[in-house]
Each structure stands twice: as structure tokens, then as C-alpha cells.
Structure 1
Amino acid sequence: MTLPSDTSARALTAAVRSGQLRAVEVARHFAPLADAASRAPEQSGVAASLAERALERAVELDKSGVSGGGAHSFELLGLPVAVKDLFTIEGVDCTMGSARLSFRASETSEPVAKLLARGAVPTCTTHTSEVGMTAYTEPIDLPAPRNPYFGAKSPAGNDPALTPPLTPGGSSGGSAVAVATGVVPVALGSDGGGSIRVPAACCGLVGLKPSHDITHGHLSTPAFLTRSLSDAALLAGVPFPSSDGPASVGQSAPGNRQRTSRPLRIGVTVEPFHAEVGVDKRWANGVWAAADALANAGYEVVEVPGPYDAEGPDAFEIFRRTITRLAARLPEADYSQMVRWIRESGRAIGAEEAARTHAQRMELPGRIRRRWDVDAVITPTLAFDPPRIGHFSSLKPWEDFEEQTRWTPWLSLWNLTGWASLSVPVGARASAESTAGSAHSTTPTMPATSINIGAVRCGEAELLRVARDCWEV
């Protein structure tokens, strides 16, 4: 059976759940794609094929009788999904983004187990940066996946052999490439500072970072890369919004004071939060275009100041200390210079300073809400187009860290606060062939840029509805 490569996750699962397709039919289409992709990791982002396991699982799902209308609790029934190679799957080799760290997993990680419980069928694992520590994907002693969406001109015209490959972002870069090239309809990744939203912006995809609990110091949360808002809603387990008017917030909105139902109040800014950098005009214009579209749709849209008050602590320093302190917990291993530097920076932070940093972080959401009387804020996702592979890693570790921050000077706010955040393409859109076709598809001349819609007093469903109302502006 032949399925269009851009078939949505929602359509696939609906067909299997209703009995129009069997899970094994879907697996027979996507398993060979995973096999072929594993032999071309630079073009596909795939670390390892799980084709044989996928077919076996699909057969078991069909034998269990859960398809054909009896699978109400299996909302992802038969759905092929890629798994970021930081999440373990029992019996499968996991690299953690470095050939030096590779091991055979003895258990399945919780995010993958939850996918299995929802009826999904993992078909491949995907390359990531070493232990997920960078906003670009160049795994150590392993192939670096290439951006299939943004292209660069070669020094000698358009000779593909001389064209410098661009980064797909990270750390979920392999997952983004696998979705963008049609190997899978959706992919599991994680986001601890933009690791879902950056690759989504680089590859013309939707990246939803759900809200997460920061009480115990977590920056990262499992998240998904998809090609559509509808599929993002499906994977996040939230209703896809209807199209009758702008999103509104009532008294039950998360973190909101008591208000009657009203259209969402949307803040906009293109001023960087965490670095001094000139924002590329095209990326800034995407924000203003989205703001105009939302205003025309009935939203209240206002410009907002920076999120941090001058009297408060340096918020990005809170992020830096938090992420490096988390890296300090990594066990001894043969890490790259970059990860060693991050780990050693965290080990230099004493217990008292770490406790003070956590207390400051707990106060940060309240401080920001006092400055931002809005429900969500829109910024660019990136300050400029994806650079070539090697742009960041050729720098000294501390320079690398600073340059990544200049590229993504907004996103970590939503990891610090734990609020939901959504990266969505705006502007010129790629053709179906370039975003969902083969790994050798042509790149559009002017790819879409991307906006980040970050929650302040709302949740995932509201963000998806806002995104719907400025999609393809």
C-alpha cells in the first residue's frame, strides 16, 4: 500500500482506529522509509531503524483487536513516530548524541512508554546533540543531520557538492529532519532551552513545548515536532480549537486573576531578552505580520516591554546556573570539550548559590506577570537564519554558548517559568515536496520564518488557537 508522505498523524490514527487501515499496513509503509533513512543519516536525521520492531508491534496491535472502533483509549493507534536518541528503548542502542557514550538500553524511558501506551509505533531513533546540551545537532563522532528546509548557495553557484550544509537546530535536530523529510509524520524530542522550538523554526515545522512543573528545578520536558497545529494538539492531548472567533480566557485560565471571558490579550516584541544581537529584519517582520493578523481577527494586541525588571536578578544568569548545575550531575564519561566546560561550570556552583538561584527562579514567574499584563507574548523564534554546520562548534566553549544565546535570545524564558510555548512558521511557506517529501527535495527560495508564541496566563489549547489565527500570514 502507498500512503502520501505528508499524510497527517490525525488522519493516520483515525483510519486505523476506524478500521479503514490496519496498523500493519501503516507500518509496512513507514518501516522501509526508516531502513532507507538509517543509511543516509545526514539527509534524514535518523540514528537507527526500528523497522523490524515496528512491524512486530503493529502486528500485535492488530491481533489485540484494538482497531476498528474499539480503541477509544489508543488515540495514537498505529502512529509511526521517531524517538530522539536521548530516550531509551529496551534492547535498543542509545547514543545520547555521542558514539563515545553509546550503550544498549535495559529499560524503556517514561516518555516512550507513554507513547506506547497511547498506541504509537516507534519506527526509528533520531540524532541529537551530545546529552542534549546545545541548540544545534552535531553528535560526537556521528553524522550531523543537514537542514532540508533552509539552503545556502555554494561558493561556485548552486553546485550541491560545494554547498555548505546548514544546521537543523537542536538538540532535537534529527527529529526535525526526520519529520521534514517524510520519514515519519511526528517525532518525540525534548525542550530544555528551545530544543524543540529551534529545530521547528529551522525546518518549517510546528514545535510545541508543553507547560511543565519547575518546582524541582526541571528545565526540560518531553515534546513533539509535527507538520500541523492539528497534529500538535493530538500529540499534546489537547482539543484542537474550533474556528469561531478569537481565543478567549475565562476565570479558570492557569495563573490568571479572576476575569470574565474575553479575547486573549497578546503582547508582541522583537527586542532580545538574553543577548545583544541585531535581529534579522525578515524574522522580526514575521512577528509584526502575526500581530496584524491577530488584531484583524479580534484579539487585543499590545507591545510589551522586556520581561525583567532592573531591580531583579539577571534572569539569563539564572538559566545559565540552572542548566550548568544540571549538567554537573552527569556521570564521568568521555565528553566533548563543550560538555566538559558546561559540566565543570556547574560543578563550580556551590550548594548555597544553587539554592539561591532556585529561589530566584521560583520568584521569576510572578515578577514577569507583574510586567506583562497579557495572556501570551509573541517574539521571533530565532534572531537570524540557521548558520552552517560547524558555525557554533568551531568556537571556544564559552563563545559557543554566547553565540547560541544570540541566535535564540528569547526561548529559555519559557523553560525557566515552565509556561507552555509554541514555535510556528509564518510567511513564505515551502511546497509539500520540500517539507514532507524525500530527503532530496529542493529547498524553497524563501523559507518561512517562525514566531514563538509563549504563554503567560494561558495554556496549550489557547496557544494553538492563536497560532491558527496567524498561520501563513
Structure 2
Amino acid sequence: MTIKPTRVHAFNHADALGHHDAVALAGQLQRGETSATALVQAAYQRLELVNPELHATACLQEEAALAQARFYDDVGNFRAFQGIPGFLKDNLDLQGLPTQHGSAAMPDTARKHTSAVAQQIIDTGVVLLGKTKLPEFGLTATTEYSKAEPAHNPWNIGHSTGGSSGGSAALVAAGVVPIAHANDGGGSIRIPAACCGLVGLKPSRGRLAMNEMAKSLPINIVSDGIVSRSVRDTAAFFALAEEHYKNPTLPPLGHITTPGRKRLKIGMFTQKISGDETDTACVEAVHKAAALCEELGHEVQEIKVPISAQFADDFLLYWGMLAASISHLGKLAVDRHMDTGKLEPLTHGLAKHFTRNLLKFPFALRRLYQFEAQYATAFADLDVLLSPTLGQPAPPLGYLALDLPFEQARERLVNFASFTAAQNVAGAPAISLPMHHTAEGIPVGVHFAAAMGHEFRLIELALEIEQAQPFKMLA
């Protein structure tokens, strides 16, 4: 009997990717020590090795990716992230590939145009190898399906990758590519980063180009970015992206390469807004992070949860509104060929939750509109908030299954994704850092949040933390 390993990764020293992050690979390209073609070929070879266990991809474009890599090699004079292989999450359009949003209800039809965010990523030089899995329309915090194979966590393939950017996180953690696109409407960059042991920065609202799916939302809760294995990759990506789109309402980031000099006032809390207990491993991770920050000269003080329990109910109702829009208006709002009869049970459950509470929605929406100003008051005498990223480490697959009875699914989801939604409504930045592991080796993320437009503060702090305590990777 063959026993399958619980951990799966593709890191090795024999191919062009090695153990390097994107910044290191970009340097090799610029010095002529490797080629874009070699990097892209190595990534596809690594994908072939691990994807039978991870099931992280939605679709590929190998011919187009290799053609782009050969173009960069022919031109030479590499700059930025030109030639670095990556992936796009399957909820943005990329010309020539379908966009199915993780849903069996969506048609498998190639798109004719490339979305603004995808183009911005391409403009940084990243060669997109294909698209990664997400749960249906990103509506839950695990990359699972009721009738299809889930994405598997490379740290333990019996556990969830988190969601909704779970496919991207699995491939970066497993060493297939150094970075991959992710986006975040309630924690969907930070949650899979925490589950898969990665760096996940949700930027301020509007930092990257507008996500087309977010344009019609009453409150734009969606921010795009990446997941990476190093803070410097995240910093470099946002600096490069800023060269192609700079939001005039936000302070520019520039390329942050060193920790900040200012010693920060950090407010720490570990309690969920529901009042339920947070898993001990997540609490331990926060206390270790706080101790490290104090060693580095920052001031850490314990504070009360700066968010009311009402917020969780209001956000869930807003989430239900999104599901109801898909369920009832999908053919008009998403795709006229959409088959709403194939939507997941959780999507229908969230939609029903919204319709049952329809009369409460105007009041919930008003409170959510007011939340941005309320959230800003938390930074009147603090620079950064510190909390767990999640209420518990990555759970076994099935714990957040999409066909659970709705009330059970709701309770588990709210208690798991307990700390991330506030920044989506406020529009503020937050980052998850892989600072801890359980006794079983499952990554545990620590969450730092800042005021609107203050990504620089999070990146500077993250660089300092990473230098003091290098993050553990699968390799």
C-alpha cells in the first residue's frame, strides 16, 4: 500500500526557479543568468508535478505564455517583473480564456477582452500561465465545491487552502510560481495567505485599477493584489503596478525596500467580534508577534475589539445581497448564458438569508456606509491594529463545505473568517504574515491593519518583522 504524503511542493535547486522569489528571479533575468522561457517552462513542469494533488488551476494558456516569454527573451534588457511567471484568479477576464468565477453555472466561453486589473498585472511584466480556482463567485472562505474537486493545501492536502484566492495561494506556497493574483472582498487575499503560509496584502480601496465586478456595488468592498512568499515581492509588485495606474486620491507608495524608522503604537486584540473564543494557536501567534514587535521597539497595548457585533450581521446581510444578485439577476448582471440552476447550495442559502431579512437591509447598508468613518477613529492614537487573521487555523476539507445546512455553514464561516471584513467595508489596508505554525505544521497568519492609504506603514513593518524572524516556507 502506497501512503501519499500530506505535504506537496515542487521546490528544487535543479531548475530555473530554484527557491527564489520574484525579486531574485528578476535580478537574474536582468543579469542574463536565466531566461524568461526557462522560468515559464520550469513553472509548467512544477505545475505538472504537483497539480494532480493540489487541483489549484481553472485553465491554462501554455502556448501564449511561452510566446510572451520568448518575446521578452528576444527583446532582452529586462526590467520590472518582465518574464516572471504567475497566475490570474479566475474571476477576472483574460482574452482567450473563459471566466467562470469558480461556478458550474458559468459557460466555458473564451473572453474577448482583458480586464483592467489583469492588464495592469501584465504591464508589470508578469507572464500569466493561466487561471486559478476560487469558490463560487468568491462567496466563502474555502476553495471547495459541492460537486467538484477542491483546491488542496500544500502544507497538508487534507486541509483547506482558505478562500477565495485559494488556488493562487496553493500554487505560490507549493513553489510553482513566486507570485499570483488574488483579490479580497471579505478577506480573500488574507485568508488563503494565512492558511497557506504566505504574505497577503489587501491594499486600500482603489489602489489598483477598478475591478469591473465591483463597479456596481453599493459599497465597493473589493481590492486586488497578490499573494507572495516574501514581503519584498509584495512591495515590488505594488511599486511596479503604480507605474501603470496611480490613484490620485491615495498617497503614492513608491518602492519600499527598508523598514521604517518610526516606532509604532500598535493596538492588539484577539477576541472575535462575536465574543466567541479564538483558537489558542491563533491567540498564541498574536502574542508572539506582539512580543517581537516590542523587542523591535514598537509600543504594543491590548485594546478592546474596535468593531461592534452588529457589524458581523450587517456584513453577512450585504454578502447575502451579493448572492441574491447572482441567484436572481445572474443572466442580466453576470452572463446571459449563466445557468442559475447549477449554483451552489451555499449561494442559494445566502440569497435566502438576504430575502428573509430584506426589510433590515436599508438599515444595515446605512450602518456599513457609516463604518468607514467609525473605523478611522481607531487610528486616532494608534498606528496599527494587530489581531489574528482567522478564528482558527486552516480546517480540514469539508468543514466549510458548500452543501452544509445553511445555519451550520453560516456559524462556521463567521467564526472562521472573523477578523478580515472590517477593512473591506472601511476601504483600509491590512496584511497577513505567516508568523506561526501549529504543532501539526499548519500555518497560522497574523493580521496587521492600518488607516486608509497607509499601506506603506504595513509594508515597512512587515519588512522589519521578516528580517527579524524569517518566514518558514515549504522548501
What is the CA-CA distance between 1:47 and the residue it aligns to? 2.4
Counterpart residue number, 2:106: 101
Letter in 1 for 2:295: N
Stretch of structure 1 that moved more, 53-62 or 23-32: 23-32
Among candidates 73, 81, 85, match of residue 76 of structure 1: 81
Letter in 1 for 2:398: G
| Aligned mates of 1:131, 1:427 — CA distance in 2 | 30
What is the CA-CA distance between 1:464 and the residue it aligns to? 1.7
SS of residue in 2 equivalent to 1:222: strand
Among candidates 147, 152, 156, match of residue 153 of structure 2: 147
Does residue 381 of structure 1 match 2:389? yes
What is the CA-CA distance between 1:335 and the residue it aligns to? 0.5
Does residue 179 of structure 1 match 2:176? no
Paired residues for 1:411-422 under 5 Å: 411-422=420-431
Does residue 135 of structure 1 match 2:141? yes
What is the CA-CA distance between 1:36 and the residue it aligns to? 4.7
What is the CA-CA distance between 1:354 and the residue it aligns to? 4.6
Counterpart residue number, 2:299: 300
Q: Is the 8 A contact 2:267 2:301 kept in 1?
A: yes
Q: Is the 8 A contact 1:94 1:103 kept in 2?
A: yes
What is the CA-CA distance between 1:122 and the residue it aligns to? 0.7
What is the CA-CA distance between 1:353 and the residue it aligns to? 5.5
SS of residue in 1 equivalent to 2:325: coil
TM-score, normalising length from structure 2? Answer: 0.81
Does residue 459 of structure 1 match 2:454? yes
| Aligned mates of 1:33, 1:102 — CA distance in 2 | 29
SS of residue in 2 equivalent to 1:324: helix
| Aligned mates of 2:378, 2:24 — CA distance in 1 | 42
Post-superposition Cα deviations, 1:80-139, rounded to whole Å, max 9, x if no partner, equal 111112222222133321334242232222221111122110113211101111001113
What is the CA-CA distance between 1:29 and the residue it aligns to? 1.9
TM-score, normalising length from structure 1? Answer: 0.81
Counterpart residue number, 1:155: none
Stretch of structure 1 that moved more, 314-323 or 184-193: 314-323
Among candidates 60, 64, 77, match of residue 49 of structure 1: 60
Letter in 2 for 1:289: K
| Aligned mates of 2:83, 2:258 — CA distance in 1 | 28
Counterpart residue number, 2:41: 28
Does residue 62 of structure 1 match 2:73? yes
Structure 2 CA distance for partners of 1:212 and 1:457, relative to 1, 3 Å? closer
Counterpart residue number, 2:473: none
Q: Which runs of 5+ in 2 are unaligned?
A: 1-13, 207-213, 240-252, 332-339, 471-475
| Aligned mates of 1:100, 1:452 — CA distance in 2 | 34
Structure 2 CA distance for partners of 1:121 and 1:427, relative to 1, 3 Å? same
| Aligned mates of 1:447, 1:327 — CA distance in 2 | 31
Counterpart residue number, 1:222: 224
Letter in 2 for 1:10: V
Q: Is the 8 A contact 1:383 1:409 kept in 2?
A: yes
Structure 2 CA distance for partners of 1:36 and 1:149, relative to 1, 3 Å? closer
Structure 2 CA distance for partners of 1:117 and 1:16, relative to 1, 3 Å? same
SS of residue in 1 equivalent to 2:119: helix
Paired residues for 1:46-445 under 5 Å: 46-63=57-74, 65=75, 67-68=76-77, 71=79, 75-106=80-111, 107-150=113-156, 165-213=158-206, 216-237=218-239, 238-239=253-254, 241-243=256-258, 246-248=260-262, 263-273=263-273, 275-308=274-307, 314-330=310-326, 331-332=330-331, 333=340, 334-347=342-355, 354-372=361-379, 373-393=381-401, 395-428=404-437, 445=440
Post-superposition Cα deviations, 1:18-59, rounded to whole Å, max 9, x if no partner, equal 544332232222233344555x1x425122232222101112
Q: Which runs of 5+ in 1 are unaligned?
A: 152-164, 249-262, 430-443
How many residue pairs match? The answer is: 418
Post-superposition Cα deviations, 1:279-319, rounded to whole Å, max 9, x if no partner, equal 2222111111111211221212211212136xxx8212221
Q: Is the 8 A contact 1:277 1:383 kept in 2?
A: no
Q: Is the 8 A contact 2:124 2:237 kept in 1?
A: no
Structure 2 CA distance for partners of 1:5 and 1:141, relative to 1, 3 Å? farther
Letter in 2 for 1:370: T
Letter in 1 for 2:131: T
Q: Is the 8 A contact 2:16 2:38 kept in 1?
A: no
| Aligned mates of 1:45, 1:114 — CA distance in 2 | 23
| Aligned mates of 2:134, 2:351 — CA distance in 1 | 18
Among candidates 14, 38, 47, match of residue 27 of structure 2: 14
Q: Is the 8 A contact 2:102 2:133 kept in 1?
A: yes
Q: Is the 8 A contact 1:31 1:55 kept in 2?
A: no
Structure 2 CA distance for partners of 1:139 and 1:17, relative to 1, 3 Å? farther
Post-superposition Cα deviations, 1:177-230, rounded to whole Å, max 9, x if no partner, equal 111111111111111111111111111111111111599511122121100111
Structure 2 CA distance for partners of 1:127 and 1:289, relative to 1, 3 Å? same
